[in-house]
Amino acid sequence: MKAPFLRAGAALFCVVTLAAGQFPSTPPRTPAAPPAPAPGAGAAFAEKSWDQLSDKLLLEWGKQAIASGKWRHGETEHMVIHYQKLAEAQRAAREAEAYYDYITKDFGLEKDYRKGKSHLFIFARNSDWVAFCTEVGKGRIASTSRYSEMYIEAPANNESFSRNLAFPVSCCVMYRFFPKYVPYWVVTGVAFFEEGNAYKKLKGIGGGARGSERHGTAQYPLKDLLLVTASPTDTHEMYEYYRTCERLVRFLLVKGDHRRFVPLVTKVNNGMPFQQAVVEVYPEKFKTFNEFQAAYDLFQ
């Protein structure tokens, strides 16, 4: 009596098996790739004593800063940070490393030509900051940079701290990623561009095309701008120069090709006049420097 049921069961098994063979088997699900870490996420700030620091080499301004008061110290992947308040150091570590990531990617920078880490000094007290600026010959500023060192004032609840920090980090990156010291208009233009661009990316409010959006005419003569080696002393001329440097860098990045910015700067660093370099680097865009000048004049 069991045989018919067994035969029926076997037949049903064969039908199901044959039907299943007509459809491809479902491949095993590949686990989703983990999301890319956010810029600055790898800051991994670690507080250390002076003797524990991996890089204790300071330049002239750094030596003056370190002698100006009591400092605590810490490190991230790319920077040694000197500070008085831990919360400010942790914030600066995260944001400075994020800016470092943004800027190197914006310009396609890959090879760091400098040894050791950069040093960031965070002045918590206004009186110390004013004294330092006076000693190194700076006016009333919020941040500055010299070679591989960065300096910034960080009073409590300073809402502009993040934006001010982008400026010296930009200068520092330009110094580290070019074998020669780049022209002053490049350092200034990149710093003011990234003061807005990297800051916006950090805050999740855009960035990329408009840079710092500095107000003003930005009409410093281009032929003169390319020859300037230090900040103008006249206040009006200085701000017009800054705006124009940012405008030129933004034009090269937005209307040109950000991947060609480094080759352009490298040619200029090696002694080629800017007027010749820009035609060689962007041959399909500008046949002559006059074409470049005409396009730049229309850019705002």
Question: Tens digit of pLDDT for each residue in 161-183?
Answer: 888 898 899 999 999 999 888 89
Whether pLDDT at 140 is above 90: no
Whether pLDDT at 30 is above 60: no
Please tell me whether residues 51 and 118 are part of one structural domain: yes
pLDDT band at 38 (very low <50, low <70, confident <90, very high): low
- Does 16 reside within a domain? no
The mean pLDDT value of the chain amounts to 82
Please tell me whether residues 77 and 134 are part of one structural domain: yes
What pLDDT shows up at residue 206?
61
Residue 80: strand, helix, or coil: strand
Please tell me whether residues 114 and 195 are part of one structural domain: no
pLDDT band at 254 (very low <50, low <70, confident <90, very high): confident
Whether pLDDT at 69 is above 70: yes
pLDDT (mean) for 99-117: 90
Sequence-distant (≥ 6) Cβ neighbours of residue 76 within 8 angstroms? 43, 44, 45, 46, 93, 96, 97
Please tell me whether residues 67 and 138 are part of one structural domain: yes
Does an H or E element contain 94, and which?
Answer: helix 86-106
CA distance 132 to 146: 13
Please tell me whether residues 98 and 171 are part of one structural domain: yes
Please tell me whether residues 217 and 170 are part of one structural domain: no
- DSSP characters over 163-195: HHHHHHHHHHHHHHTSSSPPPHHHHHHHHHHHH
Counted domains in the chain = 2
Please tell me whether residues 157 and 213 are part of one structural domain: no
Find the DSSP H helices in the chain: 2-21, 60-66, 86-106, 126-135, 161-176, 184-203, 222-225, 235-251, 261-269, 274-281, 289-298
Please tell me whether residues 135 and 215 are part of one structural domain: no
Please tell me whether residues 47 and 170 are part of one structural domain: yes
Residue 119 lies in domain: 41-177
Please tell me whether residues 265 and 172 are part of one structural domain: no
CA neighbor of 151 nearest in space, from 159, 194, 138: 138
Please tell me whether residues 94 and 111 are part of one structural domain: yes
pTM here is 0.79
